[in-house]
Structure 1
Amino acid sequence: MMNRGGIGTRMGDGEEIGTKFVDTGNSIPRSKFGNIMHSDPNISATVAAIPRDEVFAYRNSSASFTSPASYDPNRMSCEGSPMTMSPWNQTGAGSNFPWSIEENLPQNGLIGSLVREEGHIYSLAATKDLLYTGSDSKNIRVWKNLKEFSGFKSSSGLVKAIIIAGEKIFTGHQDGKIRVWKVIPKNPTVHKRSGTLPTLKEVFKSSIRPSAYVQVRNRSALWIKHSDAISCLTLNEDNTLLYSASWDRTFKVWRISDSKCLESINAHDDAVNSVVASLDGLVFTGSADGTVKVWKREQQGKRTKHSPVQTLLKQESAVTALAVNTSGSVVYCGSSDGMVNYWECEKQLTHGGVLKGHKLAVLCLASAGNLVFSGSADKTICVWRRDDKIHACMSVLTGHNGPVKCLAVEEDHEKSKDGDQRWVVYSGSLDKSVKVWSVAEMAPDMYQMAMMQQQQQYQRHMGSDADSLPSDGSSLASENRAN
């Protein structure tokens, strides 16, 4: 039996009850994940409180560890890890100085928290001044200006994905259904359910055709219906197509205008944890089988068809999250081993490096401007800034008491200035809260802050003799070595 593990993300084979791992024959040896499971005593307590089918379970994939020639698992992005760049990891005497940063520099920090004790937060979607949150309580809450604005309830299935397309809100659920909602124009606090994907009409029409049935786990099922939990929803570039990924190993393509299922693709050998559509008809899927695949959308007459183009990654760790930047030039992939791989898309997709900033699984990714955000089971969010082809860790946002399961980002139009965009970042966690952060794109990264802190302390220590201190801090390093 395959486990629905990984805090709402399928990690692979095996079953876990509470915090005790039960080996079912295909599971990864205990020594490989023991340090991940128990490096933080609070993680075990968090896991024990999660429903049985939503606990951590790290996979042992049958996928080959051999990788495409362009993929180098040991390549890093300019030493981009916060563990190597942070001031508390400096080896010189200067690392013991008190923390001090110039006040006029843009900073990243917490704005507020949204808490409604009704379940773990599994999904987020932000639009203008509204935030939609989904949890395992079956409720979708709507927030405005950090206050609860509205809410509506689905009939069944915890809310694992939310996406907004114009006036329609789509929610993906544990029961394999996609529900469609609309806001009542005369009263924006009221949301009315307007349908389900697939529609009852399509289900009825298909059910009378033998050719509409496929074999799913030794039983017959309609190809237009997902037979397991919805893990992710995404839209194409012009919001005309909706993609749904599922633990049933498929992703499906829906036409929004008439709610019709256009295609179902048997994409992977294990649960599909993420799907993201990019420019030029490219679609990326990531799976618990350890692979990231690229698909190309083509129009064949009136028919839409997706064909496999490339396998970007083959690894033992489950792929848990995907994101593509706004320009479609970079693809990011988060994994259960805590790594974030990325690929540069110029004439072709080439592996750019690995961002190493988390101790536990990466559970969600989001991209905005030149920034990429990674949320993890280690309860933190790493903020990475891309400068040309180099990524640097700007901040590690801490404050959650449970794994960070979902992220959403909106531009802060009021605070954004020429040359410095600011973003509002929402993070949903299994601690049952949503935290709201303000992030400045031009804030100094952790290495720069450490250097500034050391320079300031050195200048106070040396007085006027420090006026000639080089900007790279080499003089301070020399003094540290001498001491």
Structure 2
Amino acid sequence: MKTRSRPSTLSRFLRCRPTTDDEDDDESPPLTTPSTTGSYNSPYNMSPYNLSAASSPFVRSPWIHSTAVVAPFPLDSTTALLGSLVRQDGHVYSLAVSGELLFTGSDSKNIRVWKNLREFGGFKSCSGLVKAIILFNNKVFTGHQDGKIRVWKPDSKSGGYKRVGTLPRFKDFLKSSIRPSSYVEVRRHRNAVWLRHFDAVSCLALNAEQGILYSGSWDRTIKVWRLSDFKCLASLNAHDDAVNAVATAFGNMVISGSADGTVKVWEREERKGRHVADRTLLRSESAVTAIAVAEKDGVVYCGASDGWVRFWVGGRRMEKGGGLRWHSMAVLCLATAGRMVVSGSADRTVRVWRREGLGAQHVRVAALTGHTGPVKCLAVEEDVEVGGELGGRWLVYSGSLDGSVRVWRVSDRPAPAAFGRNWV
């Protein structure tokens, strides 16, 4: 009998694997994650992290504006490793930072809270490893492998955090489940209630001004949630493969990236509140793995499994800007702060760039090494301790599949030796 080859390492930790709700902590009925049949043809299998995959066609891509030399920069006075946070919780999949507090999610189903490089507290979901974390006001929203979004807030009695909700709410799910019109086809010969993700929640994005939360999932949809009452407003059939990244931008726009190799832009109509497809920014043969937006400068970045970071400039116009290459394997995460762009990769490194001029030019600032596994998530905040006349200093948090989080201090001003040879 013919046997199917096993998926690549990158596919296993980024794409899909079956989950169960045997230890589910919610009121809603157990949900079985569908078979991953068909994922073996995912663009992830083209990743350079998969050693058996063919070389990427993006070596000949018109996005490549330069062949800047890839050379490691030694840490200098502007860059320093402040510490490493290690807890025996397995892979670190998600990070979020707010002031002095750092939240980390792992495949142990724990959300750890850190303060001043020390463990400050934590809380646990009984099912579903934590793939995404986002903060809003005093609430923590976590996206899980079991397809649910959980909401937490500080508990004054215990001094920790307590769960105050699950999206979708049980009463909404129950009400919809008794109406035949609420069911949509999610796989051949299988239907599910439209307002619930039936596969892993891979990413979250927030439009704080409009009070809306967006969740992207491996079920290929993006769901729209109203934060005031946790109601699901809409479900977008966004892509032909897993949604890996979603971001809000320029008022009412939403940008999504998928394993199908596309980056799409959606616009929310103010009057009706519905989301319509605006345009497709990118069609490629490599999975899109991350999206970040520098809204003040009007630049949108996307990372892909071919190791490239591509970007668009001009704000809402989103004109093609170019491509950045400093990784030898798949880009797994992106973050922006000020004029700085940070990327993490399956090659176990973190790379830092600075935008120049109108955003179409970038200079390499630092290469951060030390992780022993792929860098899966990033968070950046201003280093308020040094601020003032020094300025341009940031704290970069990098979470890795080696089970650790490293904390770096980075200046967006490169070392003098870096100037003049790294423009892209």
> Match for residue 284 of structure 1?
255
Change (3 A) 1:276 1:324: same
- Mapped to 2, the partners of 1:338 and 1:323 lie a distance apart of 15
Change (3 A) 1:157 1:29: closer
> Match for residue 178 of structure 2?
208
- Mapped to 1, the partners of 2:368 and 2:217 lie a distance apart of 30
1:135-146 to 2 correspondences below 5 Å: 135-146=106-117
> Match for residue 324 of structure 1?
293
1:286-435 to 2 correspondences below 5 Å: 286-300=257-271, 303-327=272-296, 329-346=298-315, 348-388=317-357, 389-418=360-389, 420-435=391-406
SS in 1 for 2:395: strand
Q: Is the 8 A contact 1:250 1:267 kept in 2?
A: yes
Q: 1:159 aligns with which of 123, 130, 139?
A: 130
SS in 2 for 1:6: helix
> Match for residue 41 of structure 1?
none
Change (3 A) 1:318 1:401: same
Q: Is the 8 A contact 1:171 1:178 kept in 2?
A: yes
- Mapped to 2, the partners of 1:332 and 1:402 lie a distance apart of 23
Matching of residue 178 in structure 1 with residue 149 in structure 2: yes
Q: 2:187 aligns with which of 217, 224, 227?
A: 217
> Match for residue 199 of structure 1?
169
Compute the displacement of 1:154 (Å): 0.2
> Match for residue 61 of structure 2?
73
Q: Is the 8 A contact 1:77 1:390 kept in 2?
A: no
Matching of residue 270 in structure 1 with residue 258 in structure 2: no
Percent of aligned positions with the same letter in both sequences?
Answer: 52
Compute the displacement of 1:9 (Å): 2.3
How many equivalent residue pairs? 394
> Match for residue 10 of structure 1?
15
Query: Alpha-carbon deviations, 1:47-82, whole Å to 9, x = none?
Result: xxxxxxxxxx97999xxx9x9xxxx93344665x46
AA aligned opposite 2:92? I
Compute the displacement of 1:373 (Å): 0.4
AA aligned opposite 1:211? S
AA aligned opposite 1:225? R
- Mapped to 2, the partners of 1:27 and 1:257 lie a distance apart of 37
Structure 1: gaps (5+ residues): 13-21, 39-56, 88-98, 452-483
- Mapped to 1, the partners of 2:354 and 2:252 lie a distance apart of 26
Q: Is the 8 A contact 1:124 1:134 kept in 2?
A: yes
Change (3 A) 1:264 1:392: same
Query: Alpha-carbon deviations, 1:347-402, whole Å to 9, x = none?
Result: 61111110010000000000000001000000001101001121011111001000
Matching of residue 37 in structure 1 with residue 50 in structure 2: yes
Query: Alpha-carbon deviations, 1:101-130, whole Å to 9, x = none?
Result: 7xxxx5112110000112100000000000
- Across the aligned residues of Structure 1 and Structure 2, the Cα RMSD in angstroms comes to 3.1
> Match for residue 127 of structure 1?
98
> Match for residue 442 of structure 1?
413
Compute the displacement of 1:449 (Å): 9.2
- Mapped to 2, the partners of 1:383 and 1:342 lie a distance apart of 15
- Mapped to 2, the partners of 1:153 and 1:7 lie a distance apart of 24
Compute the displacement of 1:212 (Å): 1.0
AA aligned opposite 1:125? A
Q: Is the 8 A contact 1:74 1:354 kept in 2?
A: no
SS in 1 for 2:270: strand
Compute the displacement of 1:8 (Å): 3.4
Change (3 A) 1:118 1:445: farther
- Mapped to 2, the partners of 1:397 and 1:286 lie a distance apart of 26
- Mapped to 1, the partners of 2:38 and 2:123 lie a distance apart of 40
Q: Is the 8 A contact 1:120 1:430 kept in 2?
A: yes
> Match for residue 235 of structure 1?
206
Q: Is the 8 A contact 2:212 2:226 kept in 1?
A: yes
> Match for residue 24 of structure 2?
none
Change (3 A) 1:270 1:347: closer
- Mapped to 1, the partners of 2:202 and 2:303 lie a distance apart of 15
Query: Alpha-carbon deviations, 1:162-190, whole Å to 9, x = none?
Result: 00011110000000000010101355x41
AA aligned opposite 2:276? S
TM-score, scaled relative to structure 2: 0.85
- Mapped to 2, the partners of 1:330 and 1:376 lie a distance apart of 21
Q: Is the 8 A contact 1:58 1:318 kept in 2?
A: no
> Match for residue 253 of structure 1?
224
Query: Alpha-carbon deviations, 1:264-311, whole Å to 9, x = none?
Result: 0000011100000012211100000000000001123xx421111110
- Mapped to 1, the partners of 2:44 and 2:212 lie a distance apart of 41
Change (3 A) 1:416 1:269: same
Q: Is the 8 A contact 2:289 2:331 kept in 1?
A: yes
Q: Is the 8 A contact 1:207 1:222 kept in 2?
A: yes
Change (3 A) 1:351 1:237: farther
AA aligned opposite 1:327? K
Compute the displacement of 1:441 (Å): 1.8
Change (3 A) 1:147 1:159: same
Change (3 A) 1:100 1:156: closer
Compute the displacement of 1:238 (Å): 1.9
